[in-house]
A and B are shown apart, each in its own frame.
Chain A
Amino acid sequence: MASNNLVPVALTNSDKNIAQIPVQRSSSATGEGLSVFWNELQQHNEHGLYKIYHELYDSLYHYGISVVPDTQMVKEGINDVFVELWKKREQLIMPDHIPNYIFICFKRRLSKLLGKETKRSAKYVGELFQEPEEQPYEAVLINLESDGQLRHKMENVLAQLTARQKEFIRLRFYENMSMEEISQQTAASVRTIYNTLHTAIVQLRKIMSFLFLTLMWYFEK
């Protein structure tokens, strides 16, 4: 599928096959809920667009970061998609599933931005993709630290955590599941999950204060 058409008027079947919905469970963004906003958008009301933007932002950002460890590029990509939607509002047909549709547009956008980047630097060589690959949570956390020293510390601390601790952290904070939901999924008791997370976070605190000081320093600057 050509990626030059960023916001297609309608999805082809091949598009539908690659679509996955990484919309977070916390999000109230169901396809039906968003269709009201979509109608507003088509009636030239920018607030409809803004509501869709707020509903989907976290999910899009989340996904973007797991594919491209570059916050600037991800943020730009999201805004590009919405500007494009606004420009084409008169031609667009209401998609079957709005989050899905926007998600595919975003994927194409990232893929295009990555293509440009590859030409300029060798940093992403080998990552020119058809279907971008999501990195595991641990790698995402490490890659997000742009400072080499912090990255190293983060790597060390994560290495000290057990697989179970990391899994609970991922489910609670990254997937935003409640303790009860984690309990249902993993068959551990809520008490156990709480205690395991507590120990893990205390361990994380070893680098917490260090990271926090660095952050404060960035703000002072």
Chain B
Amino acid sequence: MNLQSFMAEDFMLNDSFVRYCLQSNEEDVVFWTDWIARNPHKKAETDKAREWVLRLGVKLNAAEKLEEFNKLRAMIETDQVITTPRRNYMPYVAAAVLAGCIAFAWMWKKQPSGNVQVPAIAYKTYRADSARKQIVLADGTTVILNRNSVLQVPANYNEQERHLILSGEALCDVQKDEARPFTVSAGNTRVQVLGTVFKVRAYLFDSGVKVSLLSGKVKVAAADAARELQPGETLEAQDGRLIPGNFDVAREQDWRRGRLFFRDASLKELAAQLEYWYGIKVHIKPGNYPAIHFNGEFMNKSLPEVLASISYITNLKTVIQKDELFINH
């Protein structure tokens, strides 16, 4: 079977290719995504073949399905947060004092050296453990909470002010409301906003807290300094100081859409991208690795799914221990 001589009709009659079109088998998807990336001269034929597999099968393509799914999610998650509180981590009937104690206990455990203040009010806690989560708050602000992150929303959120407490990483699309200032704190760093889209990264394994501004205007305050940020800029708070920089806007947009993309990625790039994307510390075990050129595209996939695909293509071994990822050959 020489794939180089395949025309559209040959691809259409290949079972593995059909499974790739229908996205019904992860290995076939990985194989063909990679093959097409390495054989761009065949892309016209494979595109044609895929179009026809879906047309004759009377199916929506992946992008159309995702669009529909996102509509559903928007309807369900809005309804849920506004009308019924989540029950996963906070007992429904718990008194405010008890809830306060739980929040306090959690903060104590997470930040033993920080200046912890006992919160006098109840918090609703959102956790994104294994997969990212989208949250719509009472004022219409949406927060994409990355994997391995925790967000605390005070019960009086949106009354006089809007304040969130973050550990991990979150992208906030803030509803404009000048009467109620919006702030996010992560450790000792505080971000204050009007209506904007920005991202805060504050994982415990990172050296500092990083704020990236996608649109609008924010003010970042660390222990010893405060600064305003322009769209496209990033500020990293380290030891009370603020270090300015820029970020890749296209990359953040991909992140927002849930599109994880590798083009000809080396081992180092692979590791960096996974650490950035999934909020997990990645270690590469020392050794002699063969050269790696990984291609692939993932839409809203979990870390284990992506790791399985990468291992299948590159023969790298991966293992997660104590929420850190180790790559081995």
A residues lining the B interface (CB < 8 Å): 26, 44-46, 49-50, 53-54, 57-58, 61-62, 65-66, 75, 78-79, 82-83, 86-87, 140-141, 144, 169, 173-174, 176, 178-179, 194, 197-198, 201-202, 204-205, 208-209, 211-212, 215
B76 close to A46 (CB less than 8 A): yes
What is the minimal beta-carbon distance from A172 to any residue of chain B, in angstroms? 8
Using a CB–CB distance below 8 Å, which chain B residues touch chain A? 8-10, 12-13, 15, 18, 22, 24, 47-48, 51-53, 55-60, 65, 68-69, 71-73, 75-77, 79-80, 84, 86-88
**Structural contact, B13 and A194, CB atoms closer than 8 A:** yes
In Å, the complex CA distance between A57 and B87 comes to 28
The residue that B13 contacts in the complex, of A61, A82, A198, with Cβ under 8 A, is: A198
Work out how many contacts link A and B, with CB atoms closer than 8 A: 90
A65 to B60, CA, bound (A): 11
Asked if residues A86 and B79 are in contact (CB atoms below 8 Å), the reply is: yes
Using A44-B86, A46-B73, A79-B75 as known contacts, list a sample of 19 further A-B pairs with CB atoms less than 8 Å apart, ordered by residue number in A: A26-B24, A49-B76, A50-B69, A53-B72, A57-B60, A57-B65, A61-B60, A65-B58, A66-B58, A75-B68, A82-B76, A141-B55, A141-B56, A178-B15, A201-B12, A201-B13, A205-B8, A208-B8, A208-B52
Distance, CA A44 to CA B18, complexed state (A): 36
Query: Given A26-B22, A44-B87, A204-B52 in contact, is the A141-B13 Cβ separation under 8 Å?
Result: no
Given A61-B59, A208-B8, A212-B48, the answer on whether A83 and B13 have CB atoms closer than 8 Å is no
Could you name 10 residue pairs across A and B whose Cβ atoms are closer than 8 Å? A26-B22, A66-B58, A75-B68, A176-B18, A176-B57, A179-B15, A194-B13, A197-B13, A198-B9, A201-B12
How far does the alpha carbon of A119 sit from the alpha carbon of B51 in the complex, in Å?
Answer: 35
Partner of B58, one of A44, A57, A62, A205: A62
